């Protein structure tokens, strides 16, 4: 192959020429550009071919620039869309729903990690959606080290704790040393109460994490009495 020929003899100019042609036919314009450059750097005996290939390279550069522009626009769309989509999911979250879009969660976490590392609320929430409950709890706790957090952060930490408990009950994970099922439930309750004390506009089920309207006293799913924030 041309690649092996180049590895054997990096000064073999025609190998770059042929491989660039192959890349162009495959639509790999950026790779073709680099081989065009290498060909022009190594070829000193064929000025006519070099001149012809310079024109081809210019065309490849134009195509590659269009590709780069598409990538830039795509990144702008992602930057605009991911926070908005996450906020919509936060607002409409239902702990009983199956959130199975793993591809989106991976994309969101990758983008957040590279652009909004301090956004512990969104990062923790996406980890909750993806079932990474222990990691979600750590993310929320990391945020609480910097500030008191928001009602959403305390609520979703409670959801993460209940998720950890459920996974342990199903034998799909092991709880940390020094913790217990009852302890996780109590920590979840405390997180829910903290969210309510900060003005969360819901009543919360300490058993399943469901959010209910302020006119309801019992969870519509499991029948548990709802937390209201009234600790008197």
Q: Which of 38-42, 98-102, 177-181 has the highest mean pLDDT?
A: 98-102
Record the tokens describing residue 226, joined without a space: 């709802």
Between CA 59 and CA 213 the distance in angstroms is 61
Higher pLDDT, 43 or 166: 166
User: What's the confidence (pLDDT) of residue 156?
Assistant: 98
Strand, helix or coil for residue 216 = coil
User: What's the confidence (pLDDT) of residue 51?
Assistant: 56
Under DSSP, the state recorded for 30 is: H
CATH number of 2-71, picked from 3.90.550, 1.10.3470, 2.40.50, 1.25.40:
1.25.40
11 contact partners, CB below 8 Å, separation of at least 6: 42
The β-bridge partners of 218 are 225
User: What's the confidence (pLDDT) of residue 85?
Assistant: 81
The β-bridge partners of 203 are 212
Between CA 153 and CA 170 the distance in angstroms is 26
> Backbone phi, then psi, for 42, in 5-degree steps?
-95, -25
170-186 average pLDDT score: 78
Between CA 224 and CA 150 the distance in angstroms is 25
- pLDDT single digits (tens) 95-116: 999 887 787 788 888 888 888 8
Under DSSP, the state recorded for 171 is: T
18-45 average pLDDT score: 73
Domain ranges of the chain: 2-71, 92-202
The answer to whether residue 202 scores a pLDDT higher than 90 is yes
Record the tokens describing residue 35, joined without a space: 């081989």
Please compute Rg for the chain using Cα positions: 28
Record the tokens describing residue 96, joined without a space: 């009983």
């Amino acid at each position: 192959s041309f690649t092996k020929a180049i590895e054997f003899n990096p000064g073999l100019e025609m190998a770059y020429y042929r491989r660039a042609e192959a890349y162009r036919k495959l639509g790999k314009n950026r790779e073709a550009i680099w081989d065009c450059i290498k060909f022009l750097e190594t070829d000193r005996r064929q000025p006519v071919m070099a001149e012809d290939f310079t024109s081809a390279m210019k065309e490849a550069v134009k195509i590659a620039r269009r590709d780069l522009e598409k990538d830039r626009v795509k990144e702008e769309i992602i930057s605009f869309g991911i926070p908005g989509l996450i906020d919509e999911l936060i607002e409409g979250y239902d702990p009983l729903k199956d959130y199975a879009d793993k591809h989106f969660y991976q994309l969101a976490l990758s983008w957040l990690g590279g652009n909004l590392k301090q956004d512990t609320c969104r990062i923790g929430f996406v980890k909750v959606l993806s079932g990474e409950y222990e990691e979600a709890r750590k993310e929320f706790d990391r945020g609480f080290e910097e500030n008191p957090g928001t009602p959403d952060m305390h609520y979703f930490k409670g959801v993460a704790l209940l998720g950890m408990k459920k996974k342990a009950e199903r034998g799909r994970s092991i709880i940390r040393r020094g913790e217990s099922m009852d302890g996780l439930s109590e920590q979840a309750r405390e997180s829910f109460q903290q969210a309510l004390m900060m003005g969360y506009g819901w009543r919360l089920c300490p058993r399943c994490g469901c959010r209910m309207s302020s006119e309801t006293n019992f969870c519509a799913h499991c029948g548990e009495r709802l937390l209201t924030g009234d600790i008197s």
